[in-house]
Amino acid sequence: MAGPKSEALFARGRKVLIEGVSSASRGPATFGGAPRYMSHGQGARLYDVDGREYLDWMMAFGALPLGHAHPKVAETIAREAARGTHFATALEVEVEVAEMLVALLPHVEKVRFANTGTEAAMAAFRLARGHTGRRKIIKFEGHYHGWWDAVLVNTNPYPPTLLGHPNDPIRIPDSSGIPEEAWKDTIVVRWNDFDALERAMALHGRDAACVVTEGVMSNMGVIPPKPGYLNRMQELCRQYGALFYLDETVTGFRLAAGGCAELYGLEPDIVTYGKALGGGLPMAMIGGRDEIMSGLEWGKVLHFGTHNAGRLALHVTKVMLETLLADEKAGFRRLRDLGEQMTAEIRKVAGTSNRHGIVVQGVSSMFQIFFTDHPEISDYRDFCTHVDRVKFRDFALRLMDKGIYMNPSATLHSLSSIAHTEADIAMTARAMAEVLEEMP
Ligand code: PMP
């Protein structure tokens, strides 16, 4: 239950804000009532206006690999804000961060900065269409690439009766206000299914501007790719002349210094980054080989933005990357080790609770807990059919009452930061064991 000050803010907020918040996943639809209004954060902890403390496993939807208020980030923002917040001119730090990105990501020769994952994806899709002269976009069930009309299709979990045949999914736009023309060239394919991919490429590959995929499915919990699946996708893209677009918004500077591309040995034609890239400030980028990225030159494929390459955010990106890369990438190793320890620890707790079917899935610093009777959740259809989302919400809200914050939506995931500790993992495991005992 939210405390009295949060309740009072919610009563005021819902009079002037839609659902009292600015994004549905922060409001009553997720929390079943008033959300907790947070006042500040420090390290791995958040504090609400009622003075309650939470161990935060959500980390601003993945935007905070260094945790809250990291001293270097706080210092950088204070120093740079005193020199001016935003110039919308060319900047030295813009060149420096671009150089760092190009040095870190072998498949990226040029970058363009944007502010959010959605914006970067919109520009990337336009670039793919502009570069190839083709219209179709091939995307996968349950994959989210931002809230743009053309790809906001089959991103929500629907009842199994609405999914359609696995070879020919029913396409469902996830919002009203999206005209059919916007997504008529969007082909939706079952993910992690080699045959479905071969079939879709044989049918549509020659007309496809790009095939876009999340490297690890991160918007239906955490679902890793089957061995060789993304590599086959890349091969098929090369064969049919479609660009291979790896959306690293969640996974970039999270799972490894080189994201999923490094983890699975991929050479995507286009990548987009967001979330962690900004270390807590709005920052995103589109990257790829010069030959493709040059399509954006002189506005041939247009991408504008008053706030592109915001200087405060770029300074934070720089210090965040320097911090994670120091000591031969020790920060990235720490993120991964903590995530893997957490996954192992909560698996142990889940294993000893014989009243609830639980599967824990994780990759590096990301993990999710599924209440399910299934041994594994390997795609969107598994999620829609076998995951008890209501039970997960109950679980997460009970954990929250014990001071552990995991987002109550089963479609999301939890993440470690370098501010988390082994003691935090033990504390979470203890709270989780208690909650599982209390749950009906
Ligand atoms: N791509 C992926 C894979 C995402 O998970 C998200 C956000 N959850 C986006 C794109 C959109 O990013 P943003 O919310 O910054 O617009």
Could you tell me if 105 and 228 lie in one domain?
A: yes
> What pLDDT is stored for residue 274 in this prediction?
98
Could you tell me if 317 and 355 lie in one domain?
A: no
**Domain boundary pick from 296, 321, 346:** 321
Could you tell me if 120 and 241 lie in one domain?
A: yes
C-alpha 242/C-alpha 415 separation (Å) is 33
Q: Are 153 and 172 in contact (CB under 8 A)?
A: yes
pTM: 0.98
> What pLDDT is stored for residue 45 in this prediction?
98
Active site residues: 144, 247, 275
- With a 6 A CB cut-off, is 251 part of the ligand 1 pocket? no
**Domain boundary pick from 321, 350, 377:** 321
Q: Which residues contact 135 (CB under 8 A, 6 or more apart)?
A: 129, 185, 207, 209
Classified as helix, coil or strand, 47 is strand
Burial pattern 95-106, b for ≥16 Cβ within 10 A else e, equals eebbebbeebbe
Could you tell me if 386 and 316 lie in one domain?
A: no
Could you tell me if 238 and 181 lie in one domain?
A: yes
- With a 6 A CB cut-off, is 249 part of the ligand 1 pocket? yes
Could you tell me if 57 and 80 lie in one domain?
A: no
Pocket test for ligand 1, best of 23, 275, 286 (most atoms within 8 A of CB): 275
**Domain boundary pick from 321, 349, 375:** 321
Nearest residue (by CA) to ligand 1, atom 10, is: 145
Pocket test for ligand 1, best of 141, 152, 249 (most atoms within 8 A of CB): 249
* pLDDT tens, residue order, the chain (440 aa): 899 999 999 999 999 999 999 998 899 999 999 999 999 999 999 999 999 999 999 999 999 999 999 999 999 999 999 999 999 999 999 999 999 999 999 999 999 999 999 999 999 999 999 999 999 999 999 999 999 999 999 999 999 999 999 999 999 999 999 999 999 999 999 999 999 999 999 999 999 999 999 999 999 999 999 999 999 999 999 999 999 999 999 999 999 999 999 999 999 999 999 999 999 999 999 999 999 999 999 889 999 999 999 999 999 999 999 999 999 999 999 999 999 999 999 999 998 876 899 999 999 999 999 999 999 999 999 999 999 999 999 999 999 999 999 999 999 999 999 999 999 999 999 999 999 999 99
Could you tell me if 36 and 103 lie in one domain?
A: no
Residue 254 structure tokens: 């999270």
Q: Are 367 and 350 in contact (CB under 8 A)?
A: no
> What pLDDT is stored for residue 178 in this prediction?
98
- Name the DSSP class of 115: S
Could you tell me if 426 and 334 lie in one domain?
A: yes
Q: Which domain holds residue 30?
A: 4-66+328-438
User: How many helices, marked H, and strands, marked E, lie in the chain?
Assistant: 15, 16
Q: How far is the CA of 115 from the centre of ligand 1 (A)?
A: 11
Q: Which long-range contacts (CB under 8 A, 24 or more apart) does 175-179 make?
A: 175/147, 178/149, 178/152, 179/149
Could you tell me if 355 and 422 lie in one domain?
A: yes
- Tell me the CA end-to-end span of the chain in Å, nearest whole number: 18
Could you tell me if 305 and 428 lie in one domain?
A: no
> For the chain, how many structural domains are there in total?
2
Q: Residue 206: which of 240, 244, 245 has the closest Cα?
A: 240
Q: Which residues contact 95 (CB under 8 A, 6 or more apart)?
A: none
Could you tell me if 102 and 41 lie in one domain?
A: no
- With a 6 A CB cut-off, is 144 part of the ligand 1 pocket? yes
CATH classification at residue 114: 3.40.640.10
Could you tell me if 228 and 353 lie in one domain?
A: no
CATH classification at residue 44: 3.90.1150.10
Nearest residue (by CA) to ligand 1, atom 12, is: 117
Q: CA-CA-CA-CA torsion for 431, 344, 363, 157, nearest 10 degrees? A: -50
Strands 168-169 and 270-273: unpaired
